Chains A and B, each alone.
Chain A
Amino acid sequence: MKPFDYQRARDLETAAEAAQAGGRIIAGGTNLLDLMKLQVMTPERLVDITRIPGLDRIESDGPGLRIGALVRNSDLSADMRIRTGYPVLARALLAGASGQIRNKATTGGNLLQRTRCPYFYDPAMACNKREPGAGCAAIGGVSRMLAILGTSEACRAAHPSDMAVALRALEAEVETRRADGATRRLGLDALYRLPGERPDLETTLEPGEIITAVLLPAPLPGATQSYRKIRDRASYAFALVSVAAVVRMEDARIATASLAFGGIGARPWKDPEVDAMLSGQSPSAELFVRAADRLLAQAETDEGNDFKREMTRRALIAVMREATGLAPASTGTDKAEVPA
């Protein structure tokens, strides 16, 4: 570990200044500190934002909710407003990491956690995300946990967050504060970049820009929400494939469907065309198969992760069958109905 300075920010202003000057924000530290120990990340200065007042609250925001960036994953998943209005989020959170880690992990930190690609984690391996232009040792390596959508020749890393997958399905937005004090709101599609040739650039945040909150729109009345995560052990494992769904039925038709996927994308994955082709249709196995085909049309796999196609297909179909009432809910999926 490299020596670093540590600064405790009193307010967002000083935090932003320090961050703009090259300081690295630390919240729960559950991801950043691991990476620092391995010297995958070597900040000269840490800016601790956890003592900044006011960022750890969940408040109403018109008909929706405003979740402060410092709200702990465990508190968020336990909040009654979240559990009743946004169960997909509560369930995605509980499907991630472990109780101890969720007690430390924050909303902002969860969004910005970095990939778990093992080649990114090992400084002896070439990695364009760590060192632009160095090459990618993951290509041709052990690829089980790598992405199959949105990847590039430079990077195959998957985004690991469960929470962010639920947030994409909920069409949540992120509120940030730029270094100059201006705030902006952006959707997750605008927050996360695809790797392209520069996988080191993971978001569109500017230097000194801090996530202050996540904004949830009003819950969709009568919609079914579910999160299904398939993994290599029953708990404490990153997703091989996960699906978050918010589906509203009307007269036995799918009025709206919003699906998002984890474990398969370079970023928390959403394909608007998939949502569009489901919406307005009457549910059928055949429709779901077509939706899965559409989702996976651009997938690129190798021998080590080709199974994710079939696994994604099955997860999507199972979640949609349950959400639309074609099949009874089962213990594999966390499904809940939002009161109308």
Chain B
Amino acid sequence: MSEAFKMDEAQPRLLDETGQGLIGEPLDRPEGRLKVTGQARYSAEYAPERMVHGVLVRATITRGRVTGFDDSAAQALPGYLGLFHGPRFIRNPAQGMADEAPCQPGESIDYHGQPVALVVAESFETARDAAARIVVHYDEAPGAPVAPDTGEIEENEKRKSVQGDLEAAMAGAAAVVDAEYTTAGHAAAAMEPHAAIAEWRDGRLLMHGSLQMIRFNKNELADALGVSPEAVRILAPYVGGGFGSKLGISSEHVSAALAARALERPVRVVMSRQTVFDAVLRRTETWQRLRLGADKDGRLTAIGHEDRVSNLEGEGFAEPVSAATRFLYSAPNRLIRQHISRNHRTPSGSVRAPGEAVGMFALETAMDELAEKLGLDPVELRLRNIPERHPVTGQAYTARALAESLREGAKRFGWDQRPETGSRREGEWLIGMGMAGAGRSNMLVPSAARVTLSRDGALVETDMTDIGTGSYAILGQIAGEMLGLPIDKVAVHLADSDLPGASGSGGSFGASSSGSSVFLAARKIREILAQRLGCKPEELKVSGGEVSGGGTRAKLADLLPEPISAEAKIEKGKTAESHFSAGFGAHFVEVAVSEVSGEIRVRRMLGVFGIGRVLNEKTARSQAVGGMVWGVGSALHEELGHDPRTGHIVTRDLANYHIPAHADIPRDMEVVFLPERDDQANPIQSKGIGELGISGSGAAVINAVHNATGLRLRHFPATPDKVLAGWADGR
């Protein structure tokens, strides 16, 4: 039995009625113990019989063609099984939700580090040694542009949006900000490196792949290999972090599958950390210009956000830098434009909070600057500019906790204690407070699930992934809540492409989309139970093995002579047209800046968020905290260093690419979720949280640095040398 549901109107808040007490509870992840005891098997951790090992070979030129391979030095190694390459190899990972193979470049090389072949051997060590012995012959096309301000720069017409007259509004404004910003490229830096084990069984591929979106990945892989989607089965029960970097299939999957087919043996390919940097989609660096104009009362009259990002020719993705600028604040005169530099760096793609993660640096630090110019409190400036309707589309907002977050955050943080700029010091440390708004759009993506209720409990089945976020926990909680079961009576099976196809994990939409499908399937089961009991579905109560309603009651077991199975699929509907849904919030940060070295230390962080219904307080909090840590990283530490000649990523390990260490993150880190229901978002009234924590948090750090020092830093990460340069410039 399958139900297709379109989100055309707000649904009753059934999860507020069921009363099982699971929803929102800070339950542990059911798989947590398996993970911390090493029993949860990640993609690389299977050892099918006769398995062999592959290591990818990279291009060491930036642009050109491969004219030949010489593996004679590798052939001397005992256990060497061969070199694989050819027209089915892919240039770079598929972009998120591509649903088809990425570019298959043949002999063409478009970036330094591009995987061009796979070496396979009986042992991993031999394969790695052999890979280093392969000589690749090239026909190099020198002079490939690698810097973002060189090469072809094209306008992205899709992103252009003009309302009113920005220039005129700027000219007539009582206060303006007009500044340029840059952000460095970022790596997702998931702890688990990209990994695949491919095995062909009777003409069908079994792929253990570290992936975020199985439904799409199956089609991408089938397309890349030239087989039908039915001939591909992907399993990814545990994924050690993705952050966007595992949205689409990548070289390890395609090469492992090809080699496994040729060798008739299972092949394992795990990227080295260096290869993850070379060949996985990065977050683009950005250049941004932000303009704000306001009248003397602090009402925005103009917002302009222009940006330049980079990507390889042919890649459809362009970081939506101005995403939050479109909907956060009102102003009658608006200009949003984007340019894409076509260069030959490792191609770019989605990394956690694409758009907001970097675009909000410009928007939210410019707001801080504007508040200073107006002599207004930055919290107050934001409160004065909350739009009534979406400024670009005219849609109504769904539940929006921006104002409450700003007020509640200011109160909890002690914002009224914010010192005068540059006035508070402890020894050599200058202390300051900063804040920023938070906003991240919320989406509903088609997602299906099957729920089966039997006398033993419930089983949830979907190809949804859990990339460390808590899908197992929340999907079990939703099913248990709906069916009146304690959590240990609910089993959750995920990330098998033979199961109903889910949204996958990406864009913060996974929990709400897949959660809604589980909810709808369980609601269907409740309807059947009501029918069997003889009551209306609204009257039904299920709990403690008892079913009651309409004055009758029965034992649940008696209504289940055989299990009931229901499948449901959700997709967005009319509410997505009439309404705009997003998570909102506010960040507050206290920093200390060394007057000697320019080093910045974050001392305190608070994030207040409205994310609709909280499904699990603990996993939601972890997402928010993780996002805020990412904000610190992009504000202060993270930077892909590209060689100016080859474009290749020089900071290709975790000693050189600095993500925050524990010592960079304050103990005093508080997350508050405001009570909220988003009725138009989906039938469970929840919203995404995976990316909202990043959105704006880095800007709050930088605004705190301004409060501490008086410096306006506009180039991120704000490493100590940039602080010193700011002082030297007398900024």
Contact = CB atoms under 8 A, between A and B. Distances in A.
Interface of A: 1-3, 37-39, 98, 116, 118-119, 121-124, 137, 140-142, 144-145, 228, 230-238, 240, 307, 310-311, 314-315, 318, 328, 330-332
Contact of B596 (A118, A231, A234, A318): A318
A233 B636 contact: yes
B154 interface: no
Size class of the B contact interface (CB-based, 8 Å): 35 or more
B643 interface: yes
B655 A116 contact: yes
B720 A311 contact: yes
Given A124-B58, A142-B650, 9 more contacts: A122-B652, A142-B642, A232-B658, A235-B662, A235-B664, A237-B655, A315-B597, A332-B427, A332-B429
Contacts of B601: 234
Contacts of B599: 230-231, 234, 332
Interface string B719-731: 1110011001000
B663 interface: yes
Contact of B658 (A121, A141, A237, A318): A237
B656 A141 contact: no
* Most chain B beta-carbon neighbours within 10 Å: one of A1, A39, A142: A142
A124 B650 contact: no
Contacts of A315: 596-597
Contacts of A228: 597
B650 A118 contact: yes
B596 A140 contact: no
B532 interface: no
Nearest to A237: B658
B152 interface: no
Interface in B577-628: 594, 596-599, 601
Contacts of A310: 724, 728
A235 B661 CA distance: 6
Nearest to A123: B132
A145 to B, nearest CB: 8
B261 to A, nearest CB: 27
A3 B125 contact: yes
Nearest to B77: A3
B129 A2 contact: yes
A144 B637 contact: no
The 9 closest A-B pairs by CB, nearest first: A307-B721, A330-B427, A235-B663, A234-B663, A142-B641, A142-B650, A318-B596, A124-B60, A230-B597
15 contacts: A119-B650, A137-B643, A142-B641, A142-B642, A142-B643, A228-B597, A233-B658, A234-B601, A234-B663, A236-B661, A237-B661, A314-B724, A318-B428, A331-B427, A331-B428
B394 interface: no
Contacts of A233: 636-637, 658, 660-661, 663-664
Interface of B: 58, 60, 125, 128-129, 132, 274, 427-429, 594, 596-599, 601, 636-637, 641-645, 650-653, 655-656, 658, 660-664, 719-721, 724-725, 728
A93 to B, nearest CB: 16
A333 to B, nearest CB: 8
Nearest to A39: B132
Nearest to B594: A332
A234 B667 CA distance: 14
Main secondary structure of the interface of A (DSSP, over half): loop
A234 B636 CA distance: 11
* Most chain A beta-carbon neighbours within 10 Å: one of B60, B428, B652: B428
A307 B722 CA distance: 9
Contacts of B58: 124
B146 to A, nearest CB: 12
A98 B661 CA distance: 10
B663 A311 contact: no
A154 B656 CA distance: 23
A233 B661 CA distance: 7
B129 A118 contact: no
A310 B720 CA distance: 11
A292 to B, nearest CB: 13
Contacts of A121: 653
Contact of A234 (B128, B427, B661, B725): B661
A140 B719 contact: no
A311 B645 contact: no
Contacts of B724: 307, 310-311, 314
Contacts of A123: 132
A121 B650 CA distance: 10
Contacts of A240: 720-721
A118 B429 contact: no
Contacts of B661: 98, 233-237
A230 B720 contact: yes
Contact of B645 (A2, A141, A318, A332): A141
Contacts of A37: 128
B276 to A, nearest CB: 14
B637 to A, nearest CB: 5
A314 B595 CA distance: 9
A140 B644 contact: yes
B641 A307 contact: no
